[in-house]
Amino acid sequence: MGRSSRCEKDGLRRGSWTDAEDQILLDYVREHGEGRWEKLSRETGLKRCGKSCRLRWLNYLRPDIKRGNITQEEEELIIRLHKLLGNRWSLIAGRLPGRTDNEIKNYWNSILRKKAKENQSERSRNERKTIEDLATEAAKNTEAEPDCHDGFLPNTSDSDMPRNFITDLNEGQLSISEFLHTDFTKLCELNTKIVDCTNNCRNGSLMSTPTTEAPLHLEELLNDWEAYDFYLP
DNA sequence: AATTCGATCAACCGCCGCCCG
DNA sequence: GCGGGCGGCGGTTGATCGAAT
């Protein structure tokens, strides 16, 4: 790694951690707890910058950490959460006990991104086929008017393809920040109101006047993720 | 057996926000 | 209100390892 850094300038070590360094870090955290990484670095004599200590602890030494063997269930959850949250790895990791943001980020970049791409092209093929089928159908039925309110997309019915998103603009609904901090492992305990803003949120902006409101079970939501499009600011 | 190549993952970087003096 | 220090985050790099040639 050819880049120079503040740590390097201060004469601190970089690169792989040794067993002895790990032990020093472990001992200190056991005694003093997590946090205050710069102080840890100074007091233990570890020639590592605070950030490096924090990273080593969080991604490797933490006792509750799971390493490797990401299960099918975890993988599906990562995909769904990524669809909702984007590259907010720490939030995604927060939903997967024992997994770190770094591990999930690496897993996504090396494995899931490819899968997602493949799925995307598969979906594109299917969508293209559907459009062609619809066009053929429309050509057959010259009486039928195309149902395009704004000339942008066909207006599908709510039951066919609800376009929902979560808003915190209305009292009593789950806020985005609350939702992001929800414990997804306990979904069955939660109910929230999903605001249906059919056809009004294509540009990704929040709506203050939802067209309808319907309580929706979060578990149902995540299990049937493909049915929903979420737009977050 | 030697070399190349791609996948994986630990570690680093810069940026940003928060806190405190 | 301001500035510095610190911690957290996402993006990126580079070492390593195994499979393919």
The answer to whether the beta carbons of residues A155 and A148 sit under 8 Å apart is yes
A56: which residues sit within 8 A by CB, 6+ positions away?
Answer: A17, A21, A22, A25, A48
Domains of chain A: 12-63 (1.10.10.60), 67-138 (1.10.10.60)
Question: What pLDDT band is residue A123 in, cutting at 50, 70 and 90?
Answer: low
Nucleotide nearest to A15 (CA to C1'): B11
Per-residue pLDDT at A100 exceeds 70: yes
A10 contact to strand B (CB, 7 A limit): no
Q: Which residue is nearest to nucleotide C7 (CA to C1')?
A: A51
Q: Which residue is nearest to nucleotide C15 (CA to C1')?
A: A1
- Give the residues across from A192 on adjacent strands: A216
Nucleotide nearest to A35 (CA to C1'): C7
**A192: helix, coil or strand?**
strand
Per-residue pLDDT at A90 exceeds 80: yes
Per-residue pLDDT at A23 exceeds 70: yes
Rounded to whole angstroms, the distance from the CA of residue A214 to the C1' of nucleotide C2 is 48
Question: Rounded to two decimals, what is the model's pTM?
Answer: 0.61
A89 contact to strand C (CB, 7 A limit): yes
